[in-house]
Amino acid sequence: MATVELHGLMKHYGKDKIPAVKDVSFSVKEGELFGLIGPDGAGKSSIFRMLTTLLLPDGGNATVAGYDIVKDYKAIRNRVGYMPGKFSLYQDLSVEENLNFFATLFNTTIQQNYELIKDIYVQIEPFKNRRAGKLSGGMKQKLALCCALIHKPEVLFLDEPTTGVDAVSRKEFWEMLKRLKQQGITILVSTPYMDEATLCDRIALIQNGEILTVDTPEQIVRNYPFPLYAIRSERITHLLRHLKAYENTRSCFAFGEYLHLTFKQPHEKAVASVTDYLTHEGHTGLECRQINPTVEDCFIQLMKTA
Partner 1 sequence: MRTILFLLQKEFRQIFRNRSILPIIFVMPLMQLIVLPLAADYEVKNINLAVVDHDHSPYSAQLCAKISGSGYFRLVNYGSDFKTAFELIETDKADLVLEIPAGFERTVVRENEDKVFIAVNAINGVKAGLGGSYLNRILNDFNQDIRLKWMQLPRYNPMPVVEVTSSVWFNPHMNYNFFMVPGILAILVTMMGSYMTALNIVKEKEIGTIEQLNVTPIRKHHFVLGKLIPFWVLGMFVFSVGLFIIARLIYGIVPLGGIALLYGFLAVYLLAILGLGLLISTYCDTQQQAMSVTFFFMMIFMLMSGLFTSIDSMPIWAKGIAYLSPVTYFIEVVRMIVLKGSTFTDLKIHFAAIASFAVVLNTWAILNYKKRS
Q: What are phi and psi of 192, to 5 degrees?
A: -90, -5
- C-beta of 54 vs 230, nearer to partner 1: 54
Binding residue (CB under 8 A) for partner 1 from 39, 90, 179, 272: 90
Q: Is 52 in the site for partner 1 (CB under 8 A)?
A: yes
Q: Is 63 in the site for partner 1 (CB under 8 A)?
A: no
- C-beta of 44 vs 260, nearer to partner 1: 44
Q: Is 259 in the site for partner 1 (CB under 8 A)?
A: no
Taking phi first (over 0 means left), then psi (-120 to 50 degrees means alpha), and beta for anything else, what does residue 73 get?
A: alpha
H or E stretch including 22?
strand 18-29
Binding residue (CB under 8 A) for partner 1 from 147, 180, 252, 298: 147
Q: Are 212 and 306 within 8 A, CB to CB?
A: yes
Least Å distance between CB 110 and partner 1?
Answer: 13
Q: Is 86 in the site for partner 1 (CB under 8 A)?
A: yes
Q: Is 57 in the site for partner 1 (CB under 8 A)?
A: no
E strands, 49-109, are 59-64, 67-68, 80-83
Q: Is 137 in the site for partner 1 (CB under 8 A)?
A: no
Q: Percent helix, strand and coil across the chain, each rounded to 5?
A: 40, 30, 35
Q: What are phi and psi of 68, to 5 degrees?
A: -70, 135
Query: Looking only at residues 91 through 110 of this chain, which bind partner 1 when binding is defined by CB under 8 A?
Result: 91-93, 97, 100-102, 104-107
Q: Are 174 and 267 within 8 A, CB to CB?
A: no
Binding site for partner 1 (CB under 8 A): 52-56, 73-74, 77-78, 80, 82, 84, 86-93, 97, 100-102, 104-107, 147
